[in-house]
């Protein structure tokens, strides 16, 4: 992964991100949610829609970037 992205990761904690990473079988997948933790070996993304955390080894990260907040649907009309 780009060293500039690795250096930027700690500054993204608390922001919504997408992280493309490798699975054990070699396929790639995305983790979309709030970046909650970064250390020397791994990062943690809280998947908002599912309510679970994904721990990703930094060695498995292919791409990472911040993304805009999740769109909200308008509520029912007020009467």
pLDDT digits (tens, 9 = 90+) for 55-72: 999 999 999 999 998 888
**Secondary-structure breakdown of the chain: helix, strand, coil percentages, each rounded to the nearest 5:** 15, 45, 40
- The confidence score (pLDDT) of residue 52 equals 96
The answer on pLDDT for 77 being more than 80 is: no
Q: Which residues contact 68 (CB under 8 A, 6 or more apart)?
A: 16
Q: Who wins on pLDDT, 26 or 76?
A: 26
- Averaged pLDDT, 44-59: 94
The answer on pLDDT for 3 being more than 90 is: no
- The confidence score (pLDDT) of residue 21 equals 96
Q: pLDDT of 7-32, one tens digit each?
A: 889 999 999 999 999 999 999 999 99
């Amino acid at each position: 992964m780009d060293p500039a992205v690795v250096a930027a990761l700690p500054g993204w904690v608390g922001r919504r991100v997408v992280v493309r990473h490798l699975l054990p079988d070699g396929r790639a997948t995305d983790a979309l949610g709030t970046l909650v933790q970064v250390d020397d070996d791994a990062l943690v993304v809280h998947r908002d829609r599912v309510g679970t955390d994904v721990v990703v080894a930094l060695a498995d990260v292919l791409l990472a970037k911040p993304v805009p907040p999740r769109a909200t649907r308008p509520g029912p009309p007020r009467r």
